[in-house]
Amino acid sequence: MDIVYISDLRIDTVIGIYDWERQVRQTVVLDLEMAWDIAQAATSDDIQYTLNYKAVSDRLIEFVSASEFQLLETMAEQICQIILNEFSVPRVKLRLGKPGAVAGARDVGVLIERGSKS
């Protein structure tokens, strides 16, 4: 299976468990790898056979910016479900980071994979 990816998608949102975090918007960073067979798109040169990464990005920006999750884990799971269900992607790997959340670390977050391995 081929991979369509989105790297370093930065979205401002409300995220966190502390009272002060509920009052401000923080940036989360998404790196996505989405399984997709690109053969038909490559041979036809027709966008209808692609996984439209612009449409995926727009949907995730809309979703994440409007969300107010406490945990990155919950956000990550919901993001993967959107990709799997709304875009018919068979497998997705997501790295979701929260830059600056821990002093001394550039980034912290979660890395999850969902969907079928076949």
For residue 69, what is the domain's CATH number? 3.30.1130.10
Residues ≥6 apart with Cβ < 8 Å to 94: 30, 31, 32, 76, 79, 80, 110, 111, 112, 113, 114
* Tens-place pLDDT, residues 11-59: 999 999 999 999 999 999 999 999 999 999 999 999 999 999 999 999 9
CB of 101 closer than 8 Å to CB of 108 = yes
Catalytic annotation, pick one of 54, 93, 98, 117: 98
* Global confidence as pTM: 0.94
117 belongs to the catalytic site: no
CB of 94 closer than 8 Å to CB of 76 = yes
- pLDDT at 117 > cutoff 90: no
pLDDT of residue 72: 97
pLDDT band at 118 (very low <50, low <70, confident <90, very high): low
pLDDT of residue 43: 97
Q: Total structural domains in the chain?
A: 1
Strand-pairing partners, residue 12, are 27
pLDDT of residue 105: 93
Mean pLDDT value of segment 91-101: 96
pLDDT of residue 49: 95
Full residue range of the structural domain in which residue 51 is found: 2-115
Residue that wins the pLDDT comparison between 8 and 117: 8
Q: How do the residues of the chain divide into helix, strand and coil, expressed in percent and rounded to 5?
A: 35, 35, 30
- pLDDT at 111 > cutoff 90: yes
